[in-house]
Amino acid sequence: MAKWYSIILDCPPDKSRIEQMSIIIRFVSYDEKAKKFEIREHFLGFLPITDTTGKGLTEVILDELQNLGVAFSDMRGHNGANMKGKHSGVQNRILQRNPRAFFVPCSAHTLNLVVGDAAAATGQTTGFFELIQKLYVFFSSSTSRWDVLKKHIPSLTLKAVSDTRWESRVDAIKPVRYQLGEIYDALVEISLDEKNNNALKYEAKCLAQSIANFKFICSVIIWFDILNKVNVASKLLQSPALNIVECCSILDKTIDFLKQYRSEESFSRILHEARDSASEVEIEPVFPPENTVRVRGKKRNFEYEARDEFVHNPEKQFRIEFLCDVVDTAVVSIGERFQQLQAHSNDFKFLYDIHALKSSMKEEIMKSCKDLQITLTDEDHMDIDGIDLCDELINLALILPANQSPIEVLNDLVKNDLLSIVPNVVIALRILLSLPVSVASGERSFSKLKIIKNYLRSTMSQERLVGLATISIESELCDLIDYQELIADFAKVKARKISFE
């Protein structure tokens, strides 16, 4: 039986312009037959929303939990794209009623915002993505031009640049990264085709000149490498089995990659790869001089004031103003935007490797256990006892294998029949695993909503919508239902014949 849980929410409008709130419940359940613990996320339904304020959303959530018979006091986590308001939003209103229902921001969405911050670091990055979009629009707006493109690049095709899902921009950059020469040839062919009007030929010529630029080629390589890494991290962060400690570990590895990527050695590799691509479009692998406005020097009022120094080397200037600005902005943004997630991770981090806890560290372990006890306490109600938790952890560290994840620890306790001996450890681990790290499950439910409620079938009752969505989303549970028994029960309820016996 699962006592502690978290809720995951998302609220986009459906095809009939009704705001639908998807509510997902996350918990750690114990399978009696399999004799093991599992992290589960289940769809509870869609709730029509008329009041999208923090107060209105909170009332809908609390009413639905009451209708389902789920105790609000057992909630230990919540997240959602519409819940972040610190003062009057859902986050604050839920925490006022239940201080142990921690708000955990969606890590995948937050990482998306980090890349957006990096892309807005300089004007050069903004212009880069505009050029990528122009290439797609130029070819996709005409079937004849698209045929020319396909003739040159049969495997990969250009894709639009998404304004919201930054990790998907890697798909837009990938064809340019690996088939720059073929795209250039397609533009040249269109610019030389006498059948085209002068305006079209001039536009194709300008685009060809824009991509046949060493600075643009280096930018393509840099952004492809960064977005490719972010894309992998984003996919990992959307796993339902992920916990907040593992999430922070993935973010730390992403930061390490970014810091290493801005090094001189990494920049030399970028230049080497860019020279190979430059040879495909037959241009010199050199940075063109910057056509910048001359900055007027400031008057020195004191002798000890240093003169303003300007970077005149185009290669060095590109590394500083493009590569370093993008990477540094991303690193700083990760630190700022994931502060809340990192704070929750620090509360539970000592539970992630119990085998490493030694009796010589008892003071440090005791402090962490007491801090967690305070975190999981609401007035006179507390989930764990810090002193007992410390003793249980020290004893467990002697018998548990190394490098076990929290869910593996729980299943090891089941295997060795130790659940009743270390109750505080079991509770702490179950609460840790129940905390959500993304709203990916909520977004997946809206994929089903788009299939069920489309432009051909946009009108249906809310009950029917929720029923069809539940059957589709929870298909694995539906397969376990005995339909013959269900049909028999339904027939008895709906029978019209009257028995006179």
Mean pLDDT, consecutive 10-residue stretches, the chain (501 aa), reads 86 83 91 87 89 86 91 89 62 90 86 86 83 93 92 85 75 91 94 92 94 93 92 86 87 92 92 92 81 55 55 80 91 89 89 85 92 92 93 91 89 91 94 88 81 81 88 84 82 69 55
The tally of domains found in the chain comes to 3
Angle 325-337/107-119 helices, nearest 10 degrees?
150
Residue 344: inside a domain: no
State the virtual CA torsion across 52, 54, 59, 61 in degrees, nearest 10: 80
What confidence score (pLDDT) does residue 298 get?
A: 58
β-pair partners for 355: none
Same domain, yes or no, for 205 and 281? yes
What confidence score (pLDDT) does residue 390 get?
A: 94
Same domain, yes or no, for 236 and 321? yes
H helix runs in 303-359, sequence order: 314-318, 325-337, 339-348
Q: Give the count of beta carbons closer than 10 Å to the beta carbon of residue 191.
A: 18
What confidence score (pLDDT) does residue 180 get?
A: 92
Backbone φ and ψ of 118, nearest 5°: -65, -40
- Judge contact between 38 and 28, C-beta under 8 A: yes
What confidence score (pLDDT) does residue 84 get?
A: 58
Angle at 230 between CA 182 and CA 207, to 5 degrees: 30
Give the domain-ending residue among 389, 413, 434.
434
Q: Give the count of beta carbons closer than 10 Å to the beta carbon of residue 286.
A: 12
Same domain, yes or no, for 447 and 356? no
In angstroms, rounded to a whole number, what is the distance separating the alpha carbons of residues 397 and 384?
19
Instruction: Find the domain containing 256 and state its range.
Output: 111-288+311-337
Residue 296: inside a domain: no
Strand runs (DSSP E) across 312-416, as ranges? 377-378, 381-382
Give the domain-ending residue among 434, 460, 478.
434
H or E stretch at 178: helix 169-178
Same domain, yes or no, for 466 and 414? no
Residue 498: inside a domain: yes
In angstroms, rounded to a whole number, what is the distance separating the alpha carbons of residues 1 and 191?
69
- Judge contact between 107 and 341, C-beta under 8 A: yes
What confidence score (pLDDT) does residue 391 get?
A: 93
Q: Which residues contact 472 (CB under 8 A, 6 or more apart)?
A: 448, 451, 452
Strands 102-103 and 19-31: unpaired
**Full DSSP string of 229-270:** HHHHHHHHHT-TT--HHHHHHHHHHHHHHHHHHTSHHHHHHH
Same domain, yes or no, for 137 and 122? yes
In angstroms, rounded to a whole number, what is the distance separating the alpha carbons of residues 355 and 49?
47
Same domain, yes or no, for 363 and 402? yes
Q: Between the CA of residue 80 and those of 26, 57, 119, 204, 446, what are the distances in Å?
A: 13, 11, 24, 44, 14
Same domain, yes or no, for 380 and 483? no
Q: In the structure encoding, which two tokens stand for residue 241, read together? A: 């089995």
Same domain, yes or no, for 422 and 315? no
In angstroms, rounded to a whole number, what is the distance separating the alpha carbons of residues 40 and 26?
6
Same domain, yes or no, for 270 and 356? no
Same domain, yes or no, for 124 and 244? yes
CATH number at residue 468: 3.30.420
Same domain, yes or no, for 179 and 276? yes
Residue 260: inside a domain: yes
What confidence score (pLDDT) does residue 55 get?
A: 86
Strands 5-10 and 19-31: antiparallel
Residue 234: inside a domain: yes
Q: Which residues contact 18 (CB under 8 A, 6 or more apart)?
A: 48
Backbone φ and ψ of 29, nearest 5°: -105, 155
Residue 295: inside a domain: no
- Judge contact between 339 and 110, C-beta under 8 A: no
Residue 115: inside a domain: yes
What confidence score (pLDDT) does residue 173 get?
A: 92
* DSSP label of 100: T
Same domain, yes or no, for 94 and 125? no
What confidence score (pLDDT) does residue 113 get?
A: 85
Give the domain-ending residue among 406, 434, 462.
434
Residue 68: inside a domain: yes
